[in-house]
Amino acid sequence: MTMKKTLFTGSGVAIITPFKDYKVDYDALGKIIEYQIANHTDAIIICGTTGECATLSDAEHKKCLEYTLEKVNKRIPVIAGTGSNDTNYAVELSKFASDAGADGLLTVTPYYNKATTTGLIRHYNLLADAVDCPIIVYNVPGRTGCNITAPVYRELAKHPNIVGVKEASGNFSQIVDLFHEFGDVFDIYSGDDDQIVPMLSLGGKGVISVMANALPKETHDICQLYFDGKVKESAALQLRLHSFARAMFCEVNPVPIKAVMEELGFCSGELRLPLSEVEPQNREKLVKIMKDLGILNK
């Protein structure tokens, strides 16, 4: 097997979906997209976990994607979150995204169902057979209750449309195994902002990032410095932002990053239930970290 086409290298932002009066705020989304592009984000991932895809209606999901594609207008790659625990719906959404012009798809493992190895292989192969669009598989067992193991990757590697992996298991031994066995057939991206440099050191292509919503240039720079051979500088920047990256998970994602983007004036901090706005003590923590890093001056 040979390496497939790379969708992007560097920092892909897992962009939030801003709400106003609990409806999608497209003006705010457009503002955030322009901020991302102006600050060198390498790709935009729309309607992923950070984009609260689980509480978007089908119509909202599709409109967010269409809006983002039109706004970005081919300036950088747009990757559509099209995962579902209903394979038929995931196929439908993936077809829509592919036909709309998405550069790629990010498809999380089916959640709650706890699919078997056979079920996962069939699920992903059905998605990949249905579209011409390249697919990045998203492994985040802490949220889905489903971990992708080597036998699954071994089968998925055979499909020409399955090109990459977003790895957010938090199990670095498993991640090393993934690079060792499949690093020559999958592009592998960090799914955790506190592991960007370690992942790059193993041959990773970059990160699909939460903190890049607020820090697009810095997250891009971590990757670019590494690619430019400035490993010490890349690691130093990773460590300087470590407290911020970790604070993005002081509550479940995207609760903290929504609060951060509100503090920065991009949008409201509104979320859709069952998610609720950040607890006051955690907002204080976030504001202090932002001030300490010079991100927030008020």
- Give the pLDDT of the chain (298 residues) as one tens digit per residue: 555 789 999 999 999 999 999 999 999 999 999 999 999 999 999 999 999 999 999 999 999 999 999 999 999 999 999 999 999 999 999 999 999 999 999 999 999 999 999 999 999 999 999 999 999 999 998 889 889 999 999 999 999 999 999 999 988 999 999 999 999 999 999 999 999 999 999 999 999 999 999 999 999 999 999 999 999 999 999 999 999 999 999 999 999 999 999 999 999 999 999 999 999 999 999 999 999 999 987 5
Q: Is 138 one of the catalytic residues? A: yes
Query: At which residue do the structure tokens 């457009």 appear?
Result: 30
Among 138, 153, 189, 226, which one carries the catalytic annotation? 138
Known catalytic membership, residue 166: yes
Inter-residue long-range contacts of 243-246, CB under 8 Å, 24+ positions, other chains counted: 243/289, 243/292, 243/293, 244/211, 244/215, 244/289, 244/290, 244/293, 244/295, 245/192, 245/193, 245/194, 245/211, 246/194
Backbone φ and ψ for 250, nearest 5 degrees, come out as -70, -25
| Domains, in order of start, for the chain | 10-230 (3.20.20.70)
**CA gap 264, 35 in Å, rounded:** 12
From 71, 111, 153, 166, the catalytic residue: 166
Strand 187-190 to 206-209 pairing:
parallel
Instruction: Write down the pTM of the prediction.
Output: 0.95
Q: Coil, strand, or helix at residue 165?
A: strand
- For 269, phi then psi, to 5°, come to -95, 15
